Structures are given as C-alpha cells and as structure tokens.
C-alpha cells in the first residue's frame, strides 16, 4: 500500500490510513515515554514529597547537568571538590555494607574522606537522587556481573537507595555470590553475579604457586553462571580486572596456550594483559551475539588499587587521607594496560553493536578513582585484635565512600539513554507526518 504525501493529496479515503497510523503511534509513544524519565522532563518539584528523612541535607533542586564553561562535558574527567553535605547514608543506616568495607565500624578515625564529590571539567554533575533512579527503573532489572568490586558497587547502590526504600531478598540460591533483591513498589529487580574473570574458569589448586590459587581460564568461553541468564535483564554492568594478576593457565579452543605465574613445565609464561584482552573481547562479542538481549550493557572500567610501601602481600598499605588532584598522579603500569585494553576492546565492540542494534556503553570510573587513595578500607575491615589472615585492603572501597559517585555517573548515563530513546521516537513519528 502506498501512503499519499505532499500538497496534492486531497482524497479523504487515501488519507485515512496515514491518520490512523499517526494516532496509533502517538498513543504508543505517550505510553512509553514515561518509562524513560530524563533530566529534561524530571524536575525537583516532582520529588518534594519524597525527600529522605535520613538525609535532610540531600539537595534535589538540580536534576540536570549544569554547564560552567562550554556546552560539552565529559563527566569522567575532572577533580574531587569538597562536599560538606556528604555522606548521604551511614554505616548504621544501611545493612548492605560488607563487613570488610565497613570502615567506620572497625575504627577508621578520620571522616574527611566522606566529604568530597566529583566535579567534571566544564559542568556540574548532580548528586544521585534515589527517587528519580527508582522511577526510571520501574518495571526493569539491573545485573552486576564481575568481581567483588562490582559487588562493592551494588552494595553502594543499595545503600544510596535506602534513603528511599529497602529491597526484599528474592534470591533463588543461598549462595551469597548470586543475590537478587526486589524493590516491590517499583517492580525493580537488582542482581549480582560473582564472576571474577567473566569467562569460564576452573579452580584447579586452591593454594597455587603464590598461595592465591591456580585457575584454568577458558578465554573464548563466557562464564555460564551469568551468560545463560543475562538476556532477562534490562541493564547489565560488567567489570573485571584485579583477579587477572592471579596464577592462571590459559586455554583457547580447549587448547593450552600459555599461563601467568603458573610455574608449570614447558608452558609459556604470558603477561596478565594477554588473558585480560581475550577475556574482555570474548565477553563483549558474546553480548553482541545474544539475539534475545535487548538491554543496555555498561562496561565499567578498572578501578585502580593504591598500595604504597610494598605490594599487597608485602606490607603495602594505603594511608593517605585526602584525594589527589589530577596533576599529582598518572595511570601507569599494569593499571594503564588494563584500562587501555578495556577502552580499545570497547571501541571495537561498540562498532559491531551499532550494526546489530545493540547498546553498549562505557562507564569510565578509572580517572576519578585513580585520584582517591584515601577511600580504601586499609586495615579498617576487621577488629585490630581479630585472629584473621587479611592484608591491608587497598582494592575495595569504604562504604560510604568514593564509590558512591559511581551512582552519580550511572544515573546521568541513564538519563542520556532516556533522551536518546525520546529523540528516536520523535524521529519515527516525523517520518510518518
């Protein structure tokens, strides 16, 4: 059927199909748009009745990025600036904090590390608004897939959302590595899949050459624990990095190709970056090839550790008490290698994702976290006299702490997704008008 267009079409019977389609599209879009709240439509006055009783200093009057220089802003480049209003929850108001990241409980004496916020160059990034986030996540689901730093991020998000409401545990297994939480009044599901390498792995020796285990990594196969379930989610946040320093044997096409620190005879020793690059490539390729996955994938970049005075198992510690400025430190060595691999593999996968109609995004937390040597638990993850074998923790992040800013980043990116969706729908209507 041909649809008439232009000024020469006066036949009412010919115009009817087009009018019907426009009316139908209008109703569809009016029904869909509310699911994609963007900063452009969502104002603080709409939230006034929801202000958190737990955080009276929580400012909600500014829901949008404010440009201070030009009309462009890379939210991932900037500085940490003082924030007297922080934090927005405490270790006594949030039950989701893992013991080893509960720094205040275990005697951390300083609190200044809680009084900073991320300031992108050229603009102001709004502080996370739990009610806005939950409204945007209504009838949706979000999965964190990766290592314990990813779990650290999920716990941070739960704590920030606790200003509004707590979820209920709807986990299908007692395994703490695979948790599900549901915010029933929003029909929002939050899940975590512990998969430190993201690819298939087998623990072949719990001790290993360096007492941290020995793992067989199948670099061209994703971990089925999450790979078989990920299609059901609307949003997925992937991360990996720190575990690739551990002793591992690398397999591709089920053939041994080398290892890292494995000390096995006649096996080629390869750098950690070899396994990491192939693992990230496999994961992103798998996501792009999932026919039934219609969600948005965020690759969260590597968050550097801050050991000083020795390696993690040789007395290294993180004792600084304030952030670096951007000109005081640079990304280098192993951290730079991992970050470079992530960005390069992301760019290559993003090109392919666009061809397939997939949505792949980079959640770039590396620069911001490089500047926060003060935000780790260090020795404040257990009691001083406790009989535990733990090293100073300069990998994970205190809660509350700098990792809470990741939710600022995430919410802003979700707003952009809503805006993109809105523009696409308007363009679709326009082509029929």
C-alpha span between 163 and 142 (Å, rounded): 19
What per-residue confidence (pLDDT) applies to 209?
63
What per-residue confidence (pLDDT) applies to 386?
77
DSSP assignments along 205-253, one per residue: ESS-TTSS-EEEEEEEEE-HHHHTTGGG-SEEEE---GGGGSEEEEEET
Query: Of the candidates 265, 264, 257, 261, which has an alpha carbon nearest to the alpha carbon of residue 218?
Result: 257
- In the numeric block, which tokens belong to residue 8? 């020469």
C-alpha span between 213 and 205 (Å, rounded): 5
Catalytic residue among 306, 382, 396, 412: 396
C-alpha to C-alpha distances, 244 to 156, 342, 381, 388, nearest whole angstrom: 24, 13, 23, 25
Q: Determine whether 269 is an active site residue.
A: no
What per-residue confidence (pLDDT) applies to 204?
84
Query: Of the candidates 396, 411, 398, which has an alpha carbon nearest to the alpha carbon of residue 239?
Result: 396
Q: Determine whether 234 is an active site residue.
A: no
What per-residue confidence (pLDDT) applies to 183?
98
Q: Determine whether 396 is an active site residue.
A: yes
What domains are there in the chain, each with its CATH number?
Answer: 87-432 (3.40.50.1110)
C-alpha span between 73 and 243 (Å, rounded): 33
Catalytic residue among 148, 195, 305, 378: 148
- Tens-digit pLDDT string for the chain (433 aa): 322 333 333 443 444 444 444 444 444 443 433 333 332 222 322 333 333 333 334 344 445 566 555 557 899 999 999 999 999 999 999 999 999 999 999 999 999 999 999 999 989 999 999 999 999 999 999 999 999 999 999 999 999 999 999 999 999 999 999 999 999 999 999 999 999 999 999 988 766 666 667 999 999 999 999 999 999 999 999 999 999 999 999 999 999 999 998 888 999 999 999 999 999 999 999 999 999 999 999 999 999 999 999 988 888 999 999 999 999 999 999 999 999 999 999 999 999 999 999 999 999 999 999 999 999 999 999 888 776 667 899 999 999 999 999 999 999 999 999 776 655 555 545 556 5
Total-model pTM: 0.82
What per-residue confidence (pLDDT) applies to 113?
97
What per-residue confidence (pLDDT) applies to 391?
83
Catalytic residue among 337, 374, 393, 404: 393
* Cβ density class 132-142: b for 16+ within 10 Å, e for less: bbbbbbeebbb
C-alpha span between 196 and 183 (Å, rounded): 26
- 66 upstream amide cis, omega within 30 of 0: no
C-alpha span between 82 and 94 (Å, rounded): 23
What per-residue confidence (pLDDT) applies to 205?
75
- 400 upstream amide cis, omega within 30 of 0: yes
Query: For the CA atoms of 402, 405, 410, 412, what is the dihedral angle to 10 degrees?
Result: -160
């Amino acid at each position: 059927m041909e649809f008439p267009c232009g000024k020469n079409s006066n036949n009412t019977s010919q115009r009817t199909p087009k009018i019907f389609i426009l009316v139908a599209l209008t109703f569809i879009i009016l029904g869909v748009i509310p699911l994609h709240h963007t900063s452009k439509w969502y104002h603080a006055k709409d939230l006034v009745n929801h202000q958190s009783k737990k955080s009276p200093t929580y400012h909600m009057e500014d829901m949008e990025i404010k440009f201070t220089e030009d009309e462009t802003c890379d939210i991932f480049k900037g500085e940490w600036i003082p924030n007297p209003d922080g934090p927005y929850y405490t270790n006594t108001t949030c039950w989701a904090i893992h013991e080893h990241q509960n720094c205040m409980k275990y005697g951390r004496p300083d609190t200044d590390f809680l009084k900073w916020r991320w300031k992108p160059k050229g603009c102001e990034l709004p502080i996370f608004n739990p009610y806005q986030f939950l409204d945007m996540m209504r009838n949706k689901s979000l999965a964190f897939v990766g290592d314990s730093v990813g779990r650290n991020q999920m716990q941070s998000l739960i704590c920030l959302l606790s200003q509004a409401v707590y979820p209920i545990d709807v986990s299908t297994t007692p395994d703490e590595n695979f948790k599900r939480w549901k915010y029933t009044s929003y029909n929002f599901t939050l899940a975590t899949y512990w998969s430190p390498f993201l690819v298939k792995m087998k623990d072949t020796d719990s001790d290993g050459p360096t007492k941290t285990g020995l793992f067989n990594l199948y670099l061209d196969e994703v971990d089925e624990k999450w790979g078989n379930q990920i299609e059901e989610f609307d949003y997925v946040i992937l991360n990996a990095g720190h575990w690739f320093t551990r002793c591992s044997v690398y397999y591709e096409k089920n053939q041994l190709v080398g290892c890292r620190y494995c000390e096995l005879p006649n096996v080629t020793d390869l750098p950690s970056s070899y396994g990491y690059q192939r693992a990230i490539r496999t994961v992103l390729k798998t996501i792009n090839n999932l026919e039934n996955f219609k969600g948005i994938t965020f690759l969260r970049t590597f968050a550097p550790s801050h050991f000083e005075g020795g390696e993690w198992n040789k007395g290294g510690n993180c004792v600084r008490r304030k952030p670096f400025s951007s000109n005081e430190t640079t990304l280098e060595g192993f951290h730079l290698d991992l970050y470079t691999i992530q960005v390069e593999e992301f760019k290559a996968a993003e090109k392919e994702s666009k061809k397939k109609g997939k949505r792949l995004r980079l959640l770039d937390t590396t620069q911001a976290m490089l500047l926060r040597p003060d935000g780790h638990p260090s020795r404040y993850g257990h009691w001083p006299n406790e009989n535990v074998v733990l090293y100073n923790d300069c990998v994970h992040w205190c809660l509350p702490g700098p990792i809470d800013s990741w939710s600022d980043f995430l919410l802003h990116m979700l707003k952009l997704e809503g805006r993109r969706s809105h523009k696409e729908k308007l363009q679709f209507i326009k082509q029929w008008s």
